[in-house]
Amino acid sequence: MLRISIVGAGAIGRIHAHNVARHNGARLAYICDVNPEAASALASEHGGRAVGSIGDAVGDDVDGVIIASSTASHGDVANACIAAGKPFLCEKPLASDLSTAAKIVESVRAANLVAGMAFNRRFDPQYAGIKTAVANGEIGKMECILITSRTASAPTLDFIKTSGGLFGEKGSHFYDLVRWITGEHPIELFAMGAALINPSFADVGEVDTAMTSMRLPSGTLCQFDFSWRAAYGQDERLEVCGSKGMLQTQQAPSGPFTRFAASGMTHSGLMPTWFERFEETYKVELDVFFEAIASEGRDGLPTLADGLAAQQLADMAKQSARDGAPVLIPASG
Ligand SMILES: NC(=O)c1ccc[n+]([C@@H]2O[C@H](COP(=O)([O-])OP(=O)(O)OC[C@H]3O[C@@H](n4cnc5c(N)ncnc54)[C@H](O)[C@@H]3O)[C@@H](O)[C@H]2O)c1
């Protein structure tokens, strides 16, 4: 039975605590949060001991750590895990700046530690199916990829201040998805962003609405449409078009359909938030992480290098949006 600590008892920490508590091969050891009430509330609901500092959550009685705290803390928490030799699964982005993220990748490599990124969308059957279909040549030569991700409600300004912003928080998921599906790292990108939903985001240099265009080495063009508003529910779509056809995800995790009527066309299956859309993926990613800890293998676990690559793209997109200029990406990524 693996003993797992969760660092961060906020929105995503609650999802992981719920899933660890119900996992056959694991139990909660510690719930760590700088906010003692948040840690205690989660521990009393799902088990584990509430603690206030990372040092208390990486002791000998712990087999692995899930880093689910605010983005600004990821670097410190990951470094504490590395120092204690504890395998960890890190929510994206890997760290609040690229140089910290790159050092973490290097330290994990040097220590040969099991560590992965919580890119949960890789465990969604629709995205995984599209990756396989592309690899099998079902759509012929890939020409363009279109991604829309609009979240039902915007985060607060307080969250934004300790976050990776729209490009880092949301963008890194989808930049990773394109790298994973295509096996290619972009060579050029251009981004634009605006604070249309909450103008005060602009005061801290952030945006809530953004477009990113990317060119892949094969010539495939990608377009990402991000928003922190969708008055109608979680809106997430991916299309891959090629010489022989097109693949398109549906809104619901399973069983979606489209109705055509005189009054118009309606999609059933819109999910209220990202949680309902991706609920199962958070369980599968824990299966993969726990298997990696047990076997000291890394198969299927998104790597920290993937996390660094997605974060680099997010930073470049932010820079492009700020400068109003395209960014040429060196071949090394
Ligand atoms: N994979 C996904 O689908 C997904 C979804 C939501 C959030 N996230 C990521 O998860 C992370 C947390 O997001 P959230 O929405 O849960 O935020 P949140 O604000 O709801 O919760 C963060 C928690 O971390 C705690 N915290 C901050 N610094 C800490 C530290 N040094 N040690 C211990 N606890 C600390 C805060 O007190 C808070 O309780 C972010 O990096 C975010 O990008 C991922």
CATH number of the domain enclosing 198: 3.30.360.10
> What's the 330 CA to ligand 1 centre distance in angstroms?
32
Total count of domains within the chain: 2
Cα separation values, 160 from 72, 168, 207, 286, 315, Å: 10, 11, 10, 27, 15
Range 182-208 average pLDDT? 96
Residue of 91, 100, 280, 281 best suited for mutating to test ligand 1, as the one with most atoms within 8 Å of CB: 91
Look at residues 113, 138, 158 and tell me which one is the last residue of a structural domain: 113
Radius of gyration for the alpha carbons in the chain, expressed in angstroms and rounded: 20
For helices 11-21 and 274-295, give the axis angle rounded to 10 degrees.
60
Are residues 153 and 200 located together in one domain of the fold? Answer: yes
Residue 140 has pLDDT above 90, yes or no: yes
> What's the 264 CA to ligand 1 centre distance in angstroms?
40
Atom of ligand 1 nearest to the CA of 32: 33
Range 119-140 average pLDDT? 91
105 occurs within a structural domain: yes
Q: Which domain holds residue 232?
A: 121-278+310-328
54 occurs within a structural domain: yes
Q: What is the pLDDT of residue 152?
A: 87
234 contacts 276 by C-beta, under 8 angstroms: yes
pLDDT above 90 as % of the chain: 77
Q: How confident is the model at residue 333 (pLDDT cuts 50, 70, 90)?
A: very low
CA atoms of 238 and 92, how far apart (whole Å): 20
287 occurs within a structural domain: no
Residue 111 has pLDDT above 80, yes or no: yes
Q: How confident is the model at residue 282 (pLDDT cuts 50, 70, 90)?
A: very high
Residue 257 has pLDDT above 80, yes or no: no
Range 124-147 average pLDDT? 92
Look at residues 85, 113, 141 and tell me which one is the last residue of a structural domain: 113
